[in-house]
Structure 1
Amino acid sequence: MLHLIKLELKKFNLGWYIKGAIIANIIITAVVCFVIYIAHREGDIPISTYEDVYVLIGSSVRGTFIVFASVLMAKLVIEEYKNRTILIMFSYPVSRKKLIASKLTLIALLTFITTMLSNIVVAGLFSIINNYFHIVPFTLTASQFIDEAINIVPFTIAATGTSLIPLYFGMRNYSVPATIGSSLLVVVIACSYNPEISLVTFIPLQLGLAAVGVIIAYLGIRNIENVDVM
């Protein structure tokens, strides 16, 4: 499996993904700062504690990289079926299940790593910017930062599982638009943020969506031997 993952990394130049993640972190930081600044300036203060800040950051990051995962899925899986290049891989003396499992494992690993790191990076950047411009009327301490970094782990795991849901829609007609479009719908459900009623912090929902994603991936891999490439 590890060898197959390495082959996938060599086959697809993921430099665009790294660059995209860096740009996304910068944009997310800017948007979070702007949203909080405007909220306080207009007198409507939905973000009154440091937990609210980290929830906003977490929802933004997880939503972004669920979409990123769908783009990866489109490139590594859906397009290969659509262009029939997957037939070349299926001609190797390796089971189809292992080939597809390696692709989905790579997508899951990249999603988990980038989501986790991006949460830390964006939160760190926001803390630095807040020290200079006082966007929020309270200080984000190092201990709070560490606590939130630990708390984000189960949500990142959940987001990784959730990111596999678009596979179902993409594989129906080998459609790239359906893969990416469905990820946006998933983000609307999984990352809905409201200080009063926030689905993004409702861990049973997050774990439930993750379970759905894992089941979809499992069923896709289990039945792959019987799927004809049209």
Structure 2
Amino acid sequence: MLNLIRIELLKLKRRSKFIGILVTLILSSLIILPVLYSDEKLTSWNAVILLSFALISLITNVFTCILSGELFMEEYRTKTINIMFTYPISRTKIYFSKLLVMSLYCLIISIVGAVIFLSVANIANYIHPALTDSFTKEMIIKILVLAVFYSIFNSFVSIVYSFFSTVKISIPLMVVSCILILNATSNNDITELSPYALIPLAIVMISSALLFPIIRHLNIKDVV
């Protein structure tokens, strides 16, 4: 399994995906600046943290949608997946190796994104104070919890995209699912107990259920 993960990481390394992600995160973090100093500006670090992770999750979601298309749909379209199938390796292992790579990228984006977004907010607040409270140790714990949560959540979301990349093989359906998921989760604060907090849980359950038709399809479907 580790060798399969290394292979998938090497594929992505050649495509310079992380550079594009880094540039996107840096440019997106600049959205914090006008929000801090607008008429309806953010006044607390808690609000900045929640806004930052909402944007980071959006970027992660869109990226995993694109990545799923490349790791699954593109390899089936070009038949490069046939090379992997010639080895005595379980197709299920190949699938989960790709899924774990996407999960790793979700975690990296969440952590790097949090560092970039909050650094921009901290520098801006230092130059021109806008936040009324202080940054505390409790907020660091909250940031870590949010980073882990969103990386896990978006890892499950990537299963949905892999379903439309392998079973249905439909880019339009994959894009529509991405838009629906973004719309359903855009205003959720997982730190607050509310009915809206159940939406991510429902998406995780749906994603888990989709694993069965995905694995079955991969094991019985030949690349033609």
Is the pair's TM-score, using the shorter chain for normalization, greater than 0.5?
A: yes
Q: In the alignment, is the contact (CA less than 8 A) between 1:71 and 1:180 conserved in 2?
A: no
Maintained 8 Å contact 1:29/1:122 = yes
The answer on 1:88 being equivalent to 2:94 is: no
The letter of the residue matching 1:6 is: R
Paired residue for 1:24? 24
Q: Residues 151-199 of structure 1, C-alpha deviation per residue, up to 9 Å, x if partnerless?
A: 31334322322233222223344234543453233212122369xx999
Give the equivalent residue in structure 2 for 1:179: 174
| Cα distance change of structure 1 residues 173 and 213 upon mapping to structure 2, 3 Å threshold | closer
CA contact (8 A) 2:160 2:210 kept: yes
Structure 1 residues 216 and 156, CA gap change in structure 2 (3 angstroms): same
One of 47, 50, 59 as aligned partner of 1:55: 50
**Counterpart residue number, 1:215:** 209
Q: CA separation of 1:173/1:161 partners in 2, compared to 1, >3 Å: closer, same or farther?
A: closer
TM superposition shift of 1:120:
3.1
Check conservation: 2:29, 2:120, Cα contact below 8 A: yes
Change (3 A) 1:154 1:203: farther
Q: Counterpart of 1:204?
A: 198
Number of residues paired by the alignment? 221
Q: 1:173 to 1:220 in 2, by over 3 A?
A: closer
Matched with 1:170 is: 165
Percent same amino acid among aligned pairs? 23
**Structure 1 residues 198 and 74: alpha-carbon distance in aligned structure 2, compared to 1, 3 A threshold:** farther
1:103 to partner: Cα distance: 0.9
Runs of 5+ consecutive residues of structure 2 not aligned to the other structure:
none
What is the distance in 1 between the residues matched to 2:70 and 2:171?
8
1:207 counterpart letter in structure 2: L
Choose the corresponding residue for 2:101, options 106, 112, 116: 106
TM norm structure 1: 0.82
> What corresponds to 1:225 in structure 2?
219
Which residue in 1 is equivalent to 2:135?
A: 141
C-alpha offsets along residues 115-164 of structure 1, whole Å, 9 cap, x if unaligned? 23312331232112211122x34144142541322331334322322233
Give the counterpart of 1:154 among 136, 149, 152: 149
Give 3-state SS (helix, strand or coil) of 1:165's partner. Answer: helix
Alpha carbons 1:81, 1:229 under 8 Å: kept: yes
**1:192 and 1:198 in contact (8 A); partners too:** no
